[in-house]
Amino acid sequence: MSAMMRGNVRMALSGVRSAKWRSILTMTGVIVGIVAVVTVVGIGEGVKRQVSNQLDHFGTDLITVRPGQTAKNNSLMGAGNTDVIFGMGSVSGLTNNDVEVIEHAGGARAVAPLGVVTGSVQVDSKTFNDVPVLAANRYLPEALNQKVAFGDFWGEKNETAATAVIGKDVAADLFEENVPLGRTFTLRGQTFVVRGVFDGFDSVPFSPTGNFDHSIFIPYQTAAALTHNDAGLYTVLVKPDDPNNIASTVKGITANLREAHGGQQDFMVLGPHQTMETGSHVLKLLTTWIVAVAAISLFIGGVGIMNTMLLSVTERMHEIGVRKAIGATSRQILGQFVLEATVLSVVGGVIGIALALAVDGLLYTYSDLKPVISWNAIGIAFGVSLAVGIIFGAAPAIKASRKDPIEALRHE
């Protein structure tokens, strides 16, 4: 680095330190923009990794059937977007007849419907209104590749029994013990006996499937009798006979369901890769909106830098005149002020990156989100902050470099 460059860097840093509050306010837009970009990209990558890990746990041969319909360009219409895995919370468009159609489509070794049963749960003298109660059949553990940590899951003989398997959080929250086998609870006037406790589920943020640890599972036929066949069926999980025949199984299920629905495809049959794409589509939309907001923030930050540098040029007009009078060239003056603007922007970028890493660390430690540090995003953020300084500092620098030394010396 030349002596001139080192001098300009020292002057730029000195200028930032001499007007700390003005510099901080000037950098705020850049800081906010960088924090937004780095944090959102980290969260997005983390969620995608969590979704991928959950799908890997469930198995690369899991087929999901949901209400709604697919549209072109991999976008989704209708219900199902709120859950990147199973579409929980969507308006049900599936029926018990659809489950039978899927079972007879061929190529499936396990068909597990999942429905929602509304109502509060009573344990002893306490009432719990926020515990999801899900209706499932005996194939659920196989479909999800999920183990029962304590006790066991019900079999074919218990499909109409008042029995239940619960998530590990339910055991602690409702029964205040880890293995409440044999304990009872009441739902819609029916007493159920706990026969098993699931091992912990891999959770995904923004996805109600993360509530499986806090859910109660009861037999689907029991739920149908309890609700007079009104258990909201929101998805059907299918495991094919042969993992290599996923495509043909999906095709067969789709054809049979379309025929059963009178030629209407008001449902989705998704293989594991399509399920991943569904989640990625939702995350991309979220990321796009927040990156757009970050871009606006960066633009405002750039305008702030430009205004500050224009003010600095006006305040230091006499200094510019002195430097030009003793031999400084227009190019050297130009370089000095561009460098000062760049220092402002880059310092803001570094602060923004540090804050984003701190935010990611806090989210990782204290929430279900597990952000992944994206060095590409950090590199791009640093490059953007550098570019903002150069681009928005150019106009004030050009103004300073074009000043006549005599006029500049006369300036008060």
The predicted pLDDT at position 141 comes to 92
Enumerate the β-bridge partners of residue 126.
123
Report, in this order, helix, strand and coil percent for the chain, each rounded to 5.
60, 15, 25
Sequence-distant (≥ 6) Cβ neighbours of residue 205 within 8 angstroms: 47, 50, 367, 368, 369
> 56-83 as b/e, with b when 16 or more CB fall inside 10 Å?
eebeebbbbbbbbbbeeeeebebbbbeb
For 53, half-sphere exposure in the C-beta direction (CA atoms, 13 angstrom radius) is 13
The model's pLDDT over 235-268, given as tens digits with 9 standing for 90+, comes to 899 998 888 888 888 899 999 999 988 888 888 8
The model's pLDDT over 194-246, given as tens digits with 9 standing for 90+, comes to 999 999 887 655 454 557 888 999 999 999 999 887 777 888 999 988 888 88
The predicted pLDDT at position 7 comes to 64
Could you write out the DSSP letters of every residue in 28-62? HHHHHHHHHHHHHHHHHHHHHHHHHHHHHHH-TT-
The predicted pLDDT at position 87 comes to 57
CA 83 to chain centre: 11
How would you classify the pairing of strands 69-70 and 184-187?
unpaired
Place of tokens 């999920």: 146
Q: Over 60: is that where the pLDDT of 78 sits?
A: no
Closest by Cα among 311, 337, 276, 320 to 408? 320
| CA angle, 342 then 344 then 346, to 5° | 65
Q: What is the Cα–Cα distance from 86 to 82, expressed in whole angstroms?
A: 9
Sequence-distant (≥ 6) Cβ neighbours of residue 230 within 8 angstroms: none
Q: Could you count the other beta carbons within 10 Å of the beta carbon of residue 327?
A: 7
Closest by Cα among 51, 88, 364 to 202? 51
Q: What is the Cα–Cα distance from 167 to 200, expressed in whole angstroms?
A: 7
What is the pTM assigned to this prediction? 0.66
The predicted pLDDT at position 282 comes to 64
